[in-house]
A and B are shown apart, each in its own frame.
Chain A
């Protein structure tokens, strides 16, 4: 069950997912552990990502490790025209593990085939972002006490949102019932519906974001971006239809939690922040524990 790299959430079995979540639970209780003594981890961010990068660097620091890297490709040799393969093969000489974010899809898989040290995918274009998925799973299990038989509602951009697609793939292992709430233009792609059909899982599509959320155990909000719309008029019409406001949470289940991969713009009204059902900032904190778990698991530092 040991995977040297973490490229795609589908690389991980149920057992390996549980292993990560259990380790993360341990790090939440005791976040400062000097397990990365004398280890160097490269954080290569070919495109900027404040949250993911800081979360990784925080995780490495709390484990007593050192990190090297760059925060966008203009400050690396990529701007001189170096290929990804060459960059990875070189940096693999300087580090014990490479954490990478890259705008091109499939870049992390390719890197894992040329690197002699483990690759952790911190996002490859619109494809995969498995460490986000694992921290989402951690947040869901922690707040619900289980991953089995939950009602999960995805809201917003379900067409391009990679966090939605990866979480859907992972949750499909746990008999989840899915609800997809989105504008027509950003609806969940057919290939994912086909995937759920094949697994025999229930799902429902909605255009209206209304009282249907009363059955939800988890509401997973995402950002709707203007540039995703072919028709700007359509964006203006829909942008305020998928905003979660505090009064909408009144009739939701007591165990229900609102998740969001962040950054948020206006899709969750700030008046939700004080509600006990708002979980997105704690979710971001869980990202540190989950990444500590991933790093130590892959490097075999936790028995």
Chain B
């Protein structure tokens, strides 16, 4: 973290949330899932920082926004290693890791083109069958979609 602090050169926030360790290619998916494109407070986004774990990573700092766990866990599909720092008065008051949920509703699309959810207006539902290398099983067509083929709404 210290090494990155020197490199990032983005200003600290007074109150809000820092989401770190997002795979760089999942950055915009995370923004979509959390609806960050619609917020009105200050937000700093950095991407393509070097990371030993992820190759290239992204970081998001959002002022005055705090998430509930259910919302945060939604990004587990695309950023399972993401870490959150909750900042109050320039201090990290809480650290959170995302947890891959058991069930997912309405976030991902089924990867099977012959699935009914890709043909009629249905909210897709999945059970998570692998939490490490995220894979989800469609409630309707019963096919498994892995993280590589996962499409996020």
Contacts and interface: CB of A to CB of B under 8 A. Distances in A.
B116 A106 contact: yes
A285 B120 CA distance: 36
A109 B122 CA distance: 12
B136 interface: no
B120 A125 contact: no
Interface residues of B, number: 16
Interface string B93-125: 000000000000000001010111101101000
Given A104-B114, A104-B115, A125-B114, A109 B139 contact: yes
A105 B140 contact: yes
A127 interface: yes
Contacts of B144: 191
A125 B141 contact: yes
Interface centre among A84, A104, A106, A110, by most chain B C-beta atoms within 10 angstroms, is A106
B59 to A, nearest CB: 36
A8 B120 contact: no
B114 A84 contact: no
Interface string B122-153: 10000000000000001111111000000000
A110 B114 contact: no
Interface string A52-93: 000000000000000000000000000000011100000000
Interface of B: 110, 112, 114-117, 119-120, 122, 138-144
28 contacts: A83-B120, A84-B119, A85-B120, A103-B114, A104-B114, A104-B115, A104-B116, A105-B112, A105-B140, A105-B141, A105-B143, A106-B110, A106-B115, A106-B117, A106-B140, A106-B141, A107-B140, A109-B116, A109-B139, A109-B141, A110-B116, A110-B117, A110-B120, A110-B122, A124-B141, A125-B114, A128-B142, A191-B144
